[in-house]
Amino acid sequence: MKRNPLIPFALIAAIGIVLIIILGFKGVDQKKEIAAAKDGGKKTTETASAKPEDIYKNTCIGCHGDQMQGGVGPNLQKIGGQLSQDEIKNILQNGKTGKIGTMPKGLLPAEQVDVMAKWLASKK
């Protein structure tokens, strides 16, 4: 008896189509979560009470370096000696364009801005 060579390819195609459908539905769910996050998302006490070091690791490290040494963004190791807490808070809220790079506004939720400004102002 001769086997039909198209059967294995048909099975692979059928499995692929099922996977595409499953992943499509998963993507729709993720799209809803992303949209909710852009609209403010769910406010949690974890967001408000995060340690400044953790906020830095999650938000700032990519531009300012793992030791605050700078990179795309400026060195922050002694930023408190150069800027006041209010000036730092203003930059965190409104962003800034400078010689070194651009600090985009709105990277931190409002409840984290004061915590970060105070922490960075202590770096002298």
Residue 33 sits in the same domain as residue 50 = no
Q: Which pTM was predicted? A: 0.59
Give the CATH number for residue 109: 1.10.760.10
Residue 106: the pLDDT is: 85
Query: Over the chain, what is the mean pLDDT?
Result: 83
Residue 36 sits in the same domain as residue 68 = no
Residue 100 sits in the same domain as residue 59 = yes
Q: How many domains does the chain have?
A: 2
- Final residue belonging to a domain, choices 41, 58, 73: 41
Domain containing 100 equals 45-121
Residue 76 sits in the same domain as residue 108 = yes
What are the DSSP calls for the chain, one per residue? Answer: -PPPTHHHHHHHHHHHHHHHHHHHHHHHHHHHHHHHHHTT----HHHHT--HHHHIIIIIHHHH-TTS--SSSPP-TTGGGTS-HHHHHHHHHH-EE-SS-EE-TTSS-HHHHHHHHHHHHT--
Indicate if the pLDDT at residue 58 is higher than 70: yes
Residue 55 sits in the same domain as residue 7 = no
The annotation places the binding site at 60, 63-64, 103
The annotation places the binding site for heme c at 60, 63-64, 103
